[in-house]
Amino acid sequence: MEIKHILLKSLFDYRKNLKFVLPHAIEYLLDAAVFFIAVAALFVIGFLLPSLAVEDLEALYTQVSFFAIAFIIFSLLVFILLLIFFNSAARAVIIGMAGESFHDRRAALSKGLESAKKHGLEIFLFQILLGATYVALVLAALLSVKFLAKGNFFLAAAGLLIFLICFSIFFLFYILTLFVPQEVVLRERGLIEGFRGSFLFVRKHFKAVISYGAAASVVIVSVGVLFMGIGFLGAGKLFAKILQNLFALIVGLVVAPYFEIVKTYMVAGEAHG
Tell me the DSSP string of 112-180: HHHHHHHHHHHHHHHHHHHHHHHHHHHHHHHHHHHHHHT--HHHHHHHHHHHHHHHHHHHHHHHHTTTH
Q: How many residues does the chain have?
A: 273
* Tally: H helices and E strands in the chain: 11, 0
Q: Mean per-residue pLDDT for 61-73?
A: 66
More confident site: 237 or 130:
130
Is pLDDT at 138 greater than 70 in this prediction?
Answer: yes
In this predicted structure, what is the pLDDT of residue 128? 94
Number of domains comprising the chain:
1
In this predicted structure, what is the pLDDT of residue 123? 96
In this predicted structure, what is the pLDDT of residue 134? 84
From the list 101, 95, 105, the residue with the least C-alpha distance to 189 is: 95
Is pLDDT at 137 greater than 70 in this prediction?
Answer: yes
In this predicted structure, what is the pLDDT of residue 205? 93
Distance (Å, rounded) from C-alpha 47 to C-alpha 247? 35
Are 205 and 1 a contacting pair, CB within 8 Å? yes
Is pLDDT at 30 greater than 70 in this prediction?
Answer: yes
Is pLDDT at 244 greater than 90 in this prediction?
Answer: no
Provide long-range contacts, Cβ within 8 A and 24+ apart, for 5-11.
6/262, 6/265, 6/266, 6/269, 7/215, 7/262, 9/265, 10/98, 10/258, 10/261, 10/262, 10/265, 11/258
Q: Coil, helix or strand for 226?
A: helix
Distance (Å, rounded) from C-alpha 141 to C-alpha 166? 8
Is pLDDT at 96 greater than 60 in this prediction?
Answer: yes
Percent above pLDDT 90 for the chain: 41
Range of the domain at 19: 3-272
Band of the pLDDT at 49, cuts 50, 70, 90? Answer: low
What does pLDDT average to over the chain?
83
Is pLDDT at 59 greater than 60 in this prediction?
Answer: no
Is pLDDT at 1 greater than 60 in this prediction?
Answer: yes
In this predicted structure, what is the pLDDT of residue 129? 92
Q: Mean per-residue pLDDT for 219-230?
A: 75
More confident site: 257 or 61:
257
Question: From the CB of residue 160, how many other CB atoms can be counted at a distance below 10 Å?
Answer: 14
